Each structure stands twice: as structure tokens, then as C-alpha cells.
Amino acid sequence: MATLTTDPIQVYKRPVGLTEVHSHYCPGCTHGISHRLIAEVLDEMGLREKTIGVAPVGCSVFAYKYLNTDYVEAAHGRAPAMATGIKRVRPENIVYTYQGDGDLASIGMAEIMHAAGRGENITVIFINNAIYGMTGGQMAPTTLPGMKTTSSPKGRDVEMAGFPIKMSEILATMQGSSYIVRRSLHDPAYIRKSKKAIRKAFETQVRGMGFSLVELLSTCPTNWKVTPYEALQFVEDSMIPVFPLGDFKVHPEIAKLKV
């Protein structure tokens, strides 16, 4: 009888960068996936003990409980300003913000634009779920035309409430930004690409090349009022057409990187 001669190889483990606690995220929410990707990247790059994260106001307000690095908790929308303050006095640290779309594209519009404009050497992980999750599903600046929310109950009427704001496209126009891409968390292949993008964003910062941002299309089954599976479908069918995935600005040095 054949016996097992090789030792088992571990192919999957919890990253050191993630704490061992249960998160408060709803079932099927992809906030947790992005946390894991960040943790894996920081582990792989050996940056965990150098990193200071800046959590937003939004569903990920407790990101600091889940990510196993030093963390601060910013006021709503102000994470890029807070990150600027930290990075300027501690340039030797890796500093990143984690922000939702209400946080980044509405109340924090000035802070994100100017952080990019200054070429602030920070990384931004931008979770676009097209809705205000934490406050119970109001319209966000990224809400799709016609999409129903608690503050656009008949669907976003672009005549009244305007159009979704495409942050990656806008931020790519800033001379200070070096790496601006949009990815999605709705299925494994896309998740792998998201991880590579997060890696490249941190590589941009490590090289002192200025502002980097990864926009991640994310789900909010709770406030979209759909099942987790339907939420993933919604990203594919409805969000990607409005928020096309792609590289909006990639510094040639970073484009050359194999990760």
C-alpha cells in the first residue's frame, strides 16, 4: 500500500496581518475580502510592522480591530489629511487610508483631491459599494442612475441628484498621482487582480513615487436588499458598466514590476 511520504504543505493560512477576531461585517459583504488582501500584501512585503493605517467613518470604522497594524481612526472624509500629517512627520512608515465612497467621494472630496494633487506618498484603498452602508443605505455620490436607496426611493434621478462620480478617472488627471486603478471583488479571478493592484499601490509608496489608489468595486447586500450571490451579480452586471475596471494611471516604473 502506498504511504504518504511528503509532509503536508500548508496552502492556506490566516495572514499575520489579520487579527483573530470575528468582524462585524454583514454576511456576503466584501469589505472583509479587501481586509484580507491588504493583510496578505503587507505580510508578503514585510511591511506590517512599519505600517500605520487610517480608518474611515463608514462600515469599516473598526478596520483597526481587524488589521494587525498600528491604526488611527479619522473623522468622516478626513483620512487623507490625517494620513498626510502622519506621513509627513514619519516618512519612514508606510501609511494608507481605507475609505468608503461616501467618505472619499462626498464629504472627503477636498481631502482626497488635494492629497493626490500634492503627490502625497500614501496609499488609498477605496471601497466603492455605491451606497452609504453604515447609515442604512442612503444615496452615495457613486449610486448608479436609477438605483433605489433610502434617500432615492424611486431610484437615483439624475435630473435631481446628478450622476455617479468616477473617482479613479478624476484622480488619474492629477499630476501627483502615480498609480490609480479600479478593480472588483466580485469573483476569485477579479480578487486576485485586486490583490496585485494593492501590491503595486504599496510598491509605489515604498519607492517614494507619490499618491497611489486602488478603487475596489464592493458589495453591500444588506442595503442593496439582495442576497450575497445576487450582490456579486449586481457588481458584474450593473456596476462594472458604469465603473469600468482598468488602469487609469500607472507610472512606467510600476508598470514594469512583476508581482
Partner 1 sequence: MTKKLLKGNHALAEAAVRAGCEGFFGYPITPSTEFLEYMSSRMPELGRAFVQAESEVAAINMVYGAACAGKRTMTASSSPGVSLMMEGLSYIAGTEVPAVLVNVMRGGPGLGNIAPSQGDYNQMVKGGGHGDYFPIVIAPASVQESIDYTMLAFDLADKYRTLVYVIVDGNIGQMMEPAEMPPMREIPTEAPDWAVTGAEGRDPIALSSIYIDPYDEEVTNLRLLKKKLEIEKNEVIFKEFFMEDAEIVIIGFGTAGRISLSAVREAREQGIKVGLIRPITLFPFPFERIAEAAEQAKSFLVVEMNTGMMLDDIQVAVKGKIPVEFYGRLGGVTPFPDEILSEINRINENPPTDPNLDARADWVKRLEKAIEGSN
The binder of 116, among ligand SF4, ligand TPP, partner 1, none, by C-beta within 5 to 8 A per type, is none
Site string for partner 1, 65-94 (x = CB under 8 A): x--xxxxxxxx--x--xxxxxxxxxx--xx
Distance CA 83, CA 91 (A): 11
CA 234 to CA 226: how far, in whole Å? 9
Of 144, 151, 125, 138, whose CA–CA distance to 53 is shortest?
Answer: 125
52 binds ligand TPP per the rule CB under 6 A: no
Query: Using the rule CB under 8 A, is 196 a contact of partner 1?
Result: no
Whether 17 contacts 69, CB under 8 Å: yes
CB closer to ligand TPP out of 55 and 201: 55
C-beta of 103 vs 120, nearer to ligand TPP: 103
Residues within window 49-68 making contact with partner 1, judged by CB under 8 A: 49-52, 54-55, 61, 64-65, 68
Give which of ligand SF4, partner 1, ligand TPP, none residue 135 binds (C-beta under 5 to 8 Å, depending on kind).
Answer: ligand TPP
| Runs of H (alpha helix) within the chain | 31-45, 63-66, 79-89, 101-102, 109-117, 158-161, 167-171, 188-206, 221-224, 228-234, 240-242, 252-255
User: From the list ligand TPP, partner 1, ligand SF4, none, which binds 221 (C-beta under 5 to 8 Å, kind-based)?
Assistant: ligand SF4
Query: Segment near ligand TPP (CB under 6 A), from 45-53, 56-64, 109-117, 200-208?
Result: 56-64
Query: Which of partner 1, ligand SF4, ligand TPP, none binds 217 (CB below 5-8 Å, type-dependent)?
Result: none
Contacts of 255 by beta carbon, 8 Å cutoff, 6+ apart: none
Q: What does the block give as the cell for 242?
A: 458604469
Q: Does 76 bind ligand TPP (CB under 6 A)?
A: yes
222 interacts with, out of ligand SF4, partner 1, ligand TPP, none, CB within 5 to 8 A per kind: ligand SF4
CA 40 to chain centre: 14
Q: How far is the CB of 250 from ligand TPP (least distance, A)?
A: 26
Q: How far is the CB of 40 from ligand SF4 (least distance, A)?
A: 20
- 116 Cβ contact list (under 8 Å, min separation 6): 171, 174, 176, 177, 211, 213
Among 126-134, 146-154, 175-183, 238-246, the segment contacting ligand TPP (CB under 6 A): 126-134
Classify residue 95 by its DSSP letter: E
Side-chain-side CA neighbours of 194 within 13 Å: the count stands at 26
List phi, psi (to 5°) of 158: -65, -20
| Three-class secondary structure of residue 127 per DSSP | strand
Give, as one character, the DSSP assignment of residue 235. Answer: I
Kindly tell me the sign of the dihedral angle through the C-alpha atoms of 191, 183, 104, 204. positive
Residue of the chain from 100, 164, 210, 221 that contacts ligand TPP (CB under 6 A): 100
Residues that bind ligand TPP (CB under 6 A): 57-60, 76, 100-103, 127, 129, 131-135, 140
Residues that bind partner 1 (CB under 8 A): 48-52, 54-55, 61, 64-65, 68-75, 78, 81-90, 93-94, 110-111, 113-114, 118
